[in-house]
Amino acid sequence: MTFADQDRSDGSWPVYKGESFDIWDPDTGVYYARADPEPVLKWLQDKRVKAGKSRRDSPHREFQMAFLRDRSTLPCLTPRIAFRDVARATDSRTIIACLVPPKVFIGNQAPYLLWPRGDESDQAFLLGVLCSIPLDWYARRFVETHVNYFVFNPFPVPRPDRRNPKWQRVVALAGRLASPDKRFRPWAEAVGVDCGAVPQDEKEDMINELDAVVAHLYGLDERQLVHVFETFHEGWDYQTRLDHVLRHFRAWAR
């Protein structure tokens, strides 16, 4: 890795840290380092093939060896969901997850998810839930300084049928929000959404609707949703956002 400032003309890839992304912002331009991709790709490929053969507990063991031996299936070559490891319940948000672009490496400051099952639409659904206020409200009851896997894995995620209109709407909203530029085009096409920048007012409305739909999937009523916003973060100015979320919440209730 090279820690000095570099541009991308030398072919190096960014090495992400937690600050390299934010909710619905896949590239803040702040990186841990840059790296020559070829030796890193070889190292990552060798490491996961070895892990797939090992008897030790490894997420790579859930994949077929033919998949692991195919270097084109390395996670860093396609968009993937990452989340910040460092987080505190006193921050404005605790779970900061994002679909990061392909051709970036990620340090251990930002764990990412592997998918032995499911497709891009499942990824979009999970991302939508992770980026919602209802899920974050729950997470803030358990997170102190780090979003460790023993905290992350038990998060209660709604599992509606894929034919459920609310599941489909979360996929559409999150998929569109997660695809702000051409780096995400193949992923967006797989989800069935457009790709490109979203106007700010439209983006905010989509985020508000996402909170409302996810609240319905958790089975919250209006009183409970208001309580989530009232107790989410001490001193935050939530009323305007809550009003917009409630508008969508009532529309979906009808």
* pLDDT score, position 66: 96
CB-neighbour burial class of residue 93 (10 A; exposed 0-12, middle 13-18, buried 19+) = middle
Q: Please list the ranges in the chain whose pLDDT falls under 70.
A: 5-9, 55, 89
* pLDDT score, position 71: 97
Question: What digits encode the pLDDT tens for the residues 177-218?
Answer: 999 999 999 999 999 999 999 999 999 999 999 999 999 999
Cα–Cα distance measured from residue 47 to residue 105, given in angstroms and rounded to the nearest whole number: 14
* pLDDT score, position 53: 87
Its sign, for the CA torsion 16, 80, 22, 110, is negative
Cα–Cα distance measured from residue 26 to residue 180, given in angstroms and rounded to the nearest whole number: 8
* pLDDT score, position 9: 63
Length of the chain: 254
* pLDDT score, position 8: 63
131 contacts 97 by C-beta, under 8 angstroms: yes
Cα–Cα distance measured from residue 36 to residue 14, given in angstroms and rounded to the nearest whole number: 9
Its sign, for the CA torsion 63, 104, 119, 126, is positive
* pLDDT score, position 144: 86
Tell me the pTM.
Answer: 0.94
* pLDDT score, position 89: 67
Determine which helix (DSSP H) or strand (DSSP E) holds 83, and give its type and residue range.
strand 80-83
Q: 16 pairs with which residues across the strands? A: 106
Question: What digits encode the pLDDT tens for the residues 86-115?
Answer: 987 678 899 999 999 999 999 999 999 999
